[in-house]
């Protein structure tokens, strides 16, 4: 037991490569979309299987977000997680639940995508400066 504890304590929390952290963040974002869509489909948790999807999406999303946070800053990761989640939720909400998707909404989503891309490149530059 103590050997396992020593091994865990000796590991750096930022040991995962940055690319893996971004992959974890994208997976977390996908589960964020599943969580949001499941919440809508559960109709206040009155539909069992939609409720199961909601809980599973939430747990998996937070797990993968936590993995990404081992390397990425919280401000960056949370902004990307919620941005991708918002875009995906609106897009799939329109496809699955028939919610409206206007041109103005689409333009606003492009702004979010631009912000997410900007944050990614900013973090890459900062990481390169530290190396």
pLDDT at 11 over 60: no
Calculate the alpha carbon distances from 72 to 39, 40, 122 in Å: 28, 30, 12
Across 10-19, 60-69, 90-99, least confident range:
10-19
Contact 87, 61 (CB under 8 A): no
pLDDT tens digits, residue range 58-76? 999 999 999 999 999 998 8
Q: How far apart are CA 80 and CA 83, in angstroms?
A: 5
Runs of H (alpha helix) within 69-99: 74-97
pTM higher than 0.85, yes or no? Answer: no
Domain extents for the chain? 15-130
């Amino acid at each position: 037991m103590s050997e396992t504890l020593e091994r865990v304590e000796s590991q750096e929390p930022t040991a995962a490569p940055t690319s893996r952290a971004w992959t974890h963040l994208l997976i977390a974002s996908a589960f964020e979309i599943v969580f949001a869509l499941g919440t809508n489909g559960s109709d206040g948790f009155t539909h069992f299987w939609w409720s199961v999807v909601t809980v599973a999406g939430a747990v998996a999303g937070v797990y993968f977000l936590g993995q990404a946070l081992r390397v990425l800053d919280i401000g960056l990761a949370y902004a990307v997680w919620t941005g991708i989640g918002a875009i995906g939720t609106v897009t799939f909400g329109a496809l699955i639940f028939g919610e409206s998707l206007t041109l103005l909404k689409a333009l606003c989503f492009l702004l979010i995508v631009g912000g997410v891309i900007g944050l990614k490149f900013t973090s890459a530059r900062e990481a390169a400066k530290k190396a």
